[in-house]
Structure 1
């Protein structure tokens, strides 16, 4: 699969852009486990053009994270064009436009998936951004706003016509949020539309290697994007790629291995931020990493209340004594 001059090979597996998740520590970990392409968290165009320092930090990428895309969102065309130009200066491999975020505070203001309620504005914005930057421009969106407007086949053609070079489709409507099952039939319909010639990336409910292969085989997508399925399980990229390559079943990841992976991620977050903020940032990942452990409630609470690495190491030692070598 190629996006502009970037060749990602056959059946690439991508890490989805997720707010407060797809930060540098998690991106580096997913790259370690084989993610072929990374995305930043989505970046507010309004904040970028206002030069908000925290927003600029989201665009800081290391060479070892490449290839990587910066994703931007907003409802104002001028702000989005300005943001795209600023993002281009950070030298990502391409710019991705977020037309898919379903969160109320974004979508109901006309940004993210809110653009699905005004397709002419979506197309006008996309075309303006394509013309404003030299990097390839891609889009991530959903199959429609609601059950009565699943218009992604037509929308995909129109987005292609204004110049995007790849399209990622999440198989839910905005109104579904993350409920129910992603409908990949619509993703397949876009991919198999003879008018389409840009890469189509499928997203939604890819939680293991078997599902990943089935999505490639059944719907013929050029790539798949893993989002929530990677939280607490970043080795999913290794599992998928090995299974796609030779059909090898994943080796179980022991508790000790999981703990070492988490320790590496926490240290990376502390280096990126500082000790206290890094640990706070990692709590979502800590909670997800050991989900399902029996009789874990008290230790889980202790782990999520820890404020220092010393406190964390003390809790982890207790966990190792109880669950280690499993």
Structure 2
């Protein structure tokens, strides 16, 4: 790959910028001649999350030391209150049924009053009638209900397509109908059995006792045979990394629509899955559009992790591999012996991998493990973990070339991957376990270069996909895409459409879609348009951009680091935000105080 610093065509001012790790943005787009002095103690690219999420520096101006980690739920309660504190109709009444609880129901039954106060409909028609054989699971609560509602002479609204007759109670919600649109949904009975500890795990017990695991359930013709993980990823674009919060189903669908073929769920905690936690089970859902799909789980003990593997393999057929999270830098997980902390407990790590591999293989599922070079400090144990992974029967190893302690304060070191491959081959000579490389890929040329790293047989992309989801298109077609603001807006519209069909078209679903759109925008704003760069130089993960304006008002708005501008974008795409709504990103490194940058939309009059 050509280094712009070494090119004779690169002007001196651009070389100076690159030497300072600043984006070489053309001068006609700069709002300042150059950024003010930067605190040199700040990392080039910092941030953190449960897994792949990270941060970078803010747009120009004098930089203060940034907060890191995750904002607490209490700090983000305004986001959640808007979702939870809305006065919707009882779901049974909204769908034309008669609630069995009558006047004792804690939900609203006054249809006429609700309709009179209901917020304006979203533009367009409700998507559900075409997906659910003419029905909308939200009835009158739908924020597009005007397309399937008739108002009587007395002002009472009647949903003309979702009348379901009498129902047993207000808990008969739209969940089952929404679940019919996705795969890997778990039943209420399964969650009850898990909570009541009625679910049995003979396979896990056998695996822990080093016995043969016998499959429970269908065998023979019609049952999927395991395709080796090496074949699943061979010749495909890079995998999309498991991304907590932002790697939700609508975002994965967006990446699939742009060329991604291997996706992984958000990280799920094995302990919570085994307790039947509904929210944790929801993380496992897969859309039919997702081609090759993995489920990532985290836990610190062989018995827990093998039971979790058995439950998932027995109850779900629509995934191709389980992935063990052994790279998470979150301290809360470390206290449970999980995440990157598991790498320091080699005996436990080996027990987790060997027991899960036996269970997964009995059900024709692959098992992979995602690791870092080390937990803390310079005690690099990735080679020992990878060697034990191969010996334990793991089908794939993903290595992120950083320690958990470094998070994203240093560039990923790809020299570790070759050493890792050597350790794997020494443990089991001639093994066919692929090594997948991960770290700092945001350009198709980088992807090609990283695939040439000795020992690497596949790639995984995390932050690069969050900042520019169209990276999969660029890699697939080997081209730079100088994507316009209008094209980026269309991608956001696509995300919103996917969000509404996943989270729902009632107020709760609309505001959930807004929340996750805003989480996505907290990364997407960091994309620096290719056409603004000197020599059309593609951006790098560690570059700091000076304050700049785009080629039009929309591009300028999309570059804003102010969360008020993200909210304004959500209003352009969905509907006006509720009164007094504020947004605090889950990841502190993505949020900036309003004092740093004024909202762009007010200046531009958008």
Q: TM-score, normalised by structure 2?
A: 0.48
2:511 to 254, 276, 283: 276
Once the two structures are overlaid, the 10-residue window that deviates more, 11-20 or 288-297, is 288-297
Residue 468 (structure 2) pairs with residue 233 (structure 1): yes
Who is 1:139 aligned against? 369
Cα distance in 2, alignment partners of residues 87 and 263 from structure 1: 33
Cα distance in 2, alignment partners of residues 108 and 176 from structure 1: 18
* Deviation for aligned residue 1:230: 0.7
Residue 285 (structure 2) pairs with residue 20 (structure 1): no
Residue 528 (structure 2) pairs with residue 303 (structure 1): no
* Deviation for aligned residue 1:36: 2.3
Who is 2:259 aligned against? 34
2:384 to 128, 132, 154: 154
* Deviation for aligned residue 1:269: 1.5
Return closer, same or farther for 1:299/1:263 CA change in 2, 3 Å cut-off. farther
- How many residue pairs are counted as aligned between the two chains? 311
* Deviation for aligned residue 1:300: 5.5
Secondary structure of 2:405 counterpart: coil
Matches within 5 A, 1:122-137: 122-133=349-360, 134=363, 135-137=365-367
* Deviation for aligned residue 1:147: 3.7
Return closer, same or farther for 1:259/1:101 CA change in 2, 3 Å cut-off. same
Return closer, same or farther for 1:12/1:189 CA change in 2, 3 Å cut-off. farther
Who is 1:73 aligned against? 298
CA contact (8 A) 2:344 2:381 kept: no
Who is 2:452 aligned against? 217
Once the two structures are overlaid, the 10-residue window that deviates more, 85-94 or 36-45, is 85-94
Secondary structure of 2:289 counterpart: helix
CA contact (8 A) 1:99 1:115 kept: yes
CA contact (8 A) 1:181 1:205 kept: yes
Residue 344 (structure 2) pairs with residue 117 (structure 1): yes
CA contact (8 A) 1:270 1:276 kept: no
The structure carrying a bigger strand percent of its residues is 1
Who is 2:41 aligned against? none
Q: Give the alignment's Cα RMSD to 1 decimal.
A: 2.5
Cα distance in 2, alignment partners of residues 84 and 21 from structure 1: 24
* Deviation for aligned residue 1:15: 0.1
CA contact (8 A) 2:496 2:517 kept: yes
Cα distance in 1, alignment partners of residues 410 and 388 from structure 2: 28
Per-residue CA deviation, residues 80-113 of structure 1 (Å, 9 max, x unaligned), is 1121122222221111111111111112431011
Please identify the structure whose Cα radius of gyration is greater: 2
Once the two structures are overlaid, the 10-residue window that deviates more, 82-91 or 2-11, is 2-11
Residue 43 (structure 2) pairs with residue 43 (structure 1): no
Per-residue CA deviation, residues 141-190 of structure 1 (Å, 9 max, x unaligned), is 11122343212223211110010011000111121122201111111222
Secondary structure of 1:310 counterpart: coil
Higher relative contact order (CA 8 A, sep 6+): 2
Return closer, same or farther for 1:199/1:118 CA change in 2, 3 Å cut-off. same
Secondary structure of 2:482 counterpart: coil
* Deviation for aligned residue 1:214: 1.1
CA contact (8 A) 2:251 2:495 kept: yes
Cα distance in 2, alignment partners of residues 81 and 298 from structure 1: 43
Runs of 4+ in 1 over 6 A off after TM superposition: none
Cα distance in 1, alignment partners of residues 385 and 302 from structure 2: 18
Cα distance in 1, alignment partners of residues 304 and 237 from structure 2: 32
* Deviation for aligned residue 1:280: 0.7
Unpaired segments ≥5 residues, structure 2: 1-226, 504-508, 529-547, 550-555, 578-599
Residue 235 (structure 2) pairs with residue 10 (structure 1): yes
Residue 255 (structure 2) pairs with residue 255 (structure 1): no
* Deviation for aligned residue 1:219: 3.3
* Deviation for aligned residue 1:35: 1.3
Return closer, same or farther for 1:87/1:97 CA change in 2, 3 Å cut-off. same
